[in-house]
Amino acid sequence: MTDSAFGDETLLLPDSEIICVDCGGNCYPLGWHREDGPVESGTVIAYRCKDCLDRWDVVIEGDNDRTDLHHFD
């Protein structure tokens, strides 16, 4: 058991490709590879469109970080 490596940080797996807003092509991450694994919420990943070569900076953040919802009455 490793229980102290990440504390309470929320780790999220970035998309390995996104769709370019401008041309609809596929964009692939720069400086991050799928084998790098999840990143902390709030990490910025840059993507480059393979068709128009536009660069997109995407903030990786979760909207459902309800990891520990215990409720006691």
- Side chain identity, residue 52: C
In angstroms, what is the minimal distance from the CB of 30 to Zn ion?
A: 14
Residue 28 to residue 34: CA distance in whole angstroms: 11
CA angle, 36 as apex, 62 and 64 as ends, to 5°?
Answer: 10
Number of H helices, E strands in the chain: 0, 6
Of 4-12, 36-44, 47-55, 63-71, the window that binds Zn ion (rule: CB under 5 A) is 47-55
Asked if 49 is part of the footprint of Zn ion (rule: CB under 5 A), the reply reads yes
Within 4-43, the residues that bind Zn ion by CB under 5 A are 20, 22-23, 25
Footprint of Zn ion on this chain (CB under 5 A)?
A: 20, 22-23, 25, 49, 51-52, 54
